[in-house]
Amino acid sequence: MTLLIEAPAYILHYVYFCNDNILRIHRHNTQDVEIVMLPLWNTENVIEIPLAFEVFGQFIELRLRRNTKIIAPKFQVWTHNEGNILQELPHLNEPTPCHYLHIDSISSAAISLCQEHGIHGLIFLENSTLEITPMGDLNPLSLDYHFIRERSEASLKDREPHIVKRAYATPITQDYYIRKNLQYEYNLNISRTNPVLEKIGRRQINEDLTIELAIFFDEAGYNIFAPFFDKDDEKIRDMLLAYINGVQALYHQSSLGKQIDISLVRMDIMHKQPSDLPNFGGERGSLLDSFCNYAKLYNPSDDKHPNHWDLGLYVSGLDFYAIEDGIKNTATMGLATVGGTCIDQYSCVIAELGVTNRFGKPYPSAGFTSVYIAAHEIGHNLGMHHDSTGNSCPRDGYIMSPSRGVQGETIWSECSREVVRTLARNKPCLLDKSTLEDKSLNHRRFLDLPGREWNAKKQCEILLRDKDATVATLHQACQALQCKSPHRSGYYFAGPALDGTDCASGRECRAGECLPAFQIVPGPGGPFIREGSWSDWKVGPCRSGCLQKSKGARQRNRSCNNPLAINTEAGCEGLHYDVQLCKDDRLCKKKRKTITEFAAIRCIEFSEVLSELDREGRGLQAIHESDRPWIACAIFCRRKDIMSYYTPRIELNDLGLDPYFPDGTWCHEEGGQNYFCRQHHCLPEDFQFAKKFLSDHKDEIELELGLQNARPNESKPSDRLIKYFSLGLDGLPLLTSLPANFNLPLGDDEWIDKDYIDLTKA
């Protein structure tokens, strides 16, 4: 909680975050938990709300007044529609009248009533802080009796159970830091504030730094994500807000030495690229110049104008490139002018998001690792150079490293801190603040912990744009989240998980570390834990390739949301995705194709993408191998360059061209039992999937295909890997095993790039 004073009006700004983030006191915080029943409110047209309840033997009485100032005034969301028309989306600009404040001589509070089923917020008392969160789906009557305050049955009507956590703090004169996140204003005479707040409030407001940011999401990015989000602009907006809040979390890190706030003042979602913003196919230098000219044209020049922004961020779905010594270099993922902030022509940066190579394999910028790319480019624009470039900081290990791969480098270096120390003097445009308003487009609602809402599975879904994508393992997720999909082979790194992502029971990622979650507190009964439970299976229709001796197959999936888990990873054991065999007689009334005929048709399609395949479309099915159960389900095509048949599992793994026979294809017979392809494996007809099967085949997944992220400049499979995925003309394998250390992840040095322009050369 912090007090900020703007003379002469004496406006008190106070902030809330999760308890541990408001004050961090040296090893003296203790917390308790209690569950109380609180009323639900319809806040429409309600300016003032009374709220009273008893908790921890203390009567709490609040008089809440609506807060209308949270983010920048006249916050706007725009879209570029057909015909190059720039259209504002006013329904996304409407304020959500659900944030409330209270202050008196006893307590102060910041409360959100935005959620349909509960209250969120903090109450600050003289020696403790209360955090309120709704319990959600849990039936309060199923809890142990000692956790619930006794109420009459009638009093439970129109009330919902809420978790109230109490944190005690030692005197504020001890070492502390203040994390500013959601800022709330309350007009009152400074003499009415409590002494603790007044003491903090004597800090000079003009020392605080705020980047007023405008984000422009281009047509290429829209085309990438619109199908995944069902062309719903609100869902795209929510992703971008989480993205910006991820950047905000990095600029609130203690490793930066001083927090820098990000106030979002404009968001453009471009269904169509504006005619005055050419993208030059992703050539980064020309694109940056184009965007800087565009931003200068539309940015109000007066820094006091409510719609003025200090820095423009162009988020693009284009694969940026640079021509260096006559060679096209695609390792670049962003570009900025060093020190360009506060200079109209140069206060602009570009960053990739959602980008893959031509085979559909994700670059580091494909998912939320782009948060680090954007933060890195903004760092350049603030005046930061690469670590080790003209300074004594080590090259690797920090956000301003010259390389940006998918592992680690989650904190700031001393050289970055040194630049921030001088910003108040060198970048005066960062010293002014907008008058904040409560509007729906507020990235700060993620509280610098966007991973709580955009959890590990959702981050994997964004990386692969695949709603069946899931987490392969949470091991080292805060440094490199590992993802997989039932529709692809191998695994993928999504980069460091977003702050707030669960990384172990009761722990979450923050600044690249797996730390105790802010909301997990020791109480009389320990932290509140609720195991998750599966939803019902959603079963799809029976589908079939109508091949000889084969069957149909249907997919089914379920979600761990009935209810969602709280403070634990336990509760949803087993698979979320499955494939079952089904009868296809009603689907296959015409003559069934032979497996070889089907392979030939598919090989012709593959040859249009891979020039090394024979365009005559000769293909075959391999003989089943128990050590490689995938091999009889993979389609092998005749190559032109060598005398062999080859399965393009790696090349087509991410293109949507399935290099396998359809699920249900006959693949083997043994002991009188037929085997059929399911999830790309040749398995007995009565086989039931289980976690044990996936665990037994973990080595196969990791060693055969391994990491499937894109590498710079599209390196091709090695000769050994080509042989491993090849059959001779006699149909027998050329190579049946790979060494244990084959295809391990490469270091991030391969992504080294000079992604900045010095201001003197701009």
As annotated, the active-site residues are: 377
> What pLDDT does 184 receive?
27
Alpha carbon 100 to chain centroid, angstroms: 29
Q: The dihedral of CA 501, 503, 504, 508: what is its sign?
A: negative
Give me the residues paired with residue 102 across strands. 109
Number of other CB atoms surrounding residue 350 within 10 Å: 30
Q: In terms of pLDDT, which residue wins out, 282 or 71?
A: 282
Answer with the residue of higher pLDDT: 297 or 112.
Answer: 297
Q: What is the DSSP string of 180-234?
A: --EEEEEE--GGGS-HHHHHHHTS-GGG-EEEEEEEEE-HHHHHHHTTTTTT-HH
Express each pLDDT in 626-668 by its tens digit: 999 999 999 999 999 889 999 999 889 888 889 999 999 999 9
Two tokens, residue 757? 């322009």
| Inter-axis angle of helices 414-421 and 370-382, nearest 10 | 50
What is the chain's Cα-based Rg?
Answer: 28
Q: What is residue 703's predicted lDDT score, i.e. its pLDDT? A: 42
∠730-732-733 over CA atoms, to 5°?
140
What are the tokens at 437? 């308003």
Instruction: Pull the structure tokens for residue 598.
Output: 């089907």
Q: How far apart are CA 374 and CA 22, in angstroms?
A: 26
Q: Is 252 labelled a binding residue?
A: no
pLDDT at 13: 29
| Cα distance between residue 509 and residue 449, in whole Å | 9
Q: What is the C-alpha separation between 562 and 320, in angstroms, rounded? A: 42
CB 300 within 8 A of CB 286: no
Rounded CA-CA distance 127/31 in Å is 12
What pLDDT, on a 0 to 100 scale, did the predictor assign at position 3? 28
Whole-structure pTM value: 0.68
What per-residue confidence (pLDDT) applies to 43? Answer: 66
Is pLDDT above 60 for 145?
no
Contact 621, 646 (CB under 8 A): no
Contact (CB, 8 A) for 370 and 351? yes
Give the helix/strand (H/E) hosting 64: strand 58-66
State the DSSP code for 630.
T
Is 380 annotated among the ligand-binding residues? Answer: yes
Sequence-ordered alpha helix ranges (H) in 527-575: none
Tell me what pLDDT residue 549 has: 96
- In this prediction, residue 397 carries a pLDDT of 87
CB-based burial, 128-153: b 16+ in 10 Å, e otherwise = bbbbbbbbbebebeeeeeebeeeeee
Q: Which amino acid appears at position 373 of this protein? A: I
Q: What are the two backbone dihedrals, phi and then psi, of residue 149, each rounded to the nearest 5 degrees?
A: -70, 140
Report the SS3 class of residue 726. Answer: strand
The average confidence (pLDDT) of the chain is: 79
**Tokens standing for 68?**
């209308």
User: Which pLDDT band, with edges at 50, 70 and 90, does 568 fall under?
Assistant: low
**pLDDT attached to residue 690:** 63
- 523 has pLDDT over 80: no
Q: Quote the pLDDT of residue 751.
A: 57
Mean pLDDT along residues 459-468: 94
Counting DSSP H helices and E strands in the chain, the numbers are: 14, 36
Q: Tell me what pLDDT residue 74 has.
A: 62
User: How much of the chain exceeds pLDDT 70, in percent?
Assistant: 75
Closest Cα to residue 96, out of 79, 115, 83? 115
Higher pLDDT, 26 or 444: 444
Q: What are 250-272's pLDDT values in tens digits?
A: 999 999 999 999 999 999 999 99
Show the CA angle centred on residue 77, arms to residues 337 and 449, nearest 5°: 70
Distance CA 124, CA 109 (A): 6
pLDDT at 171 over 90: no
Tokens of 47: 């300016």
Token pair, residue 606, equals 């593959």
Among the residue ranges 263-267, 378-382, 439-443, the one predicted with the least confidence is: 439-443
pLDDT at position 180: 28
Question: For the chain, percent helix, then strand, then coil, each to nearest 5?
Answer: 25, 25, 50
* Residue tagged 């890997």 (tokens): 721
Distance of CA 625 to the CA centre of its chain: 39
For residue 444, the SS3 value is helix
Residue 386 assigned ligand-binding role: yes
User: Given this model, what pLDDT does residue 732 score?
Assistant: 95
- φ, ψ dihedrals at 755, nearest 5°: -105, 35
pLDDT at 485 over 80: yes
Predicted confidence at residue 53, as pLDDT, reads 86
End-to-end CA distance of the chain: 42
The conformation of residue 208, written as its DSSP 8-state character, comes to -
Q: Which residues pair with 311 in a beta bridge?
A: 213
DSSP state of 527: S
d(CA 33, CA 46): 30
Strand pairing class (311-316; 348-352): parallel
**Higher local confidence (pLDDT), 231 or 11:** 231
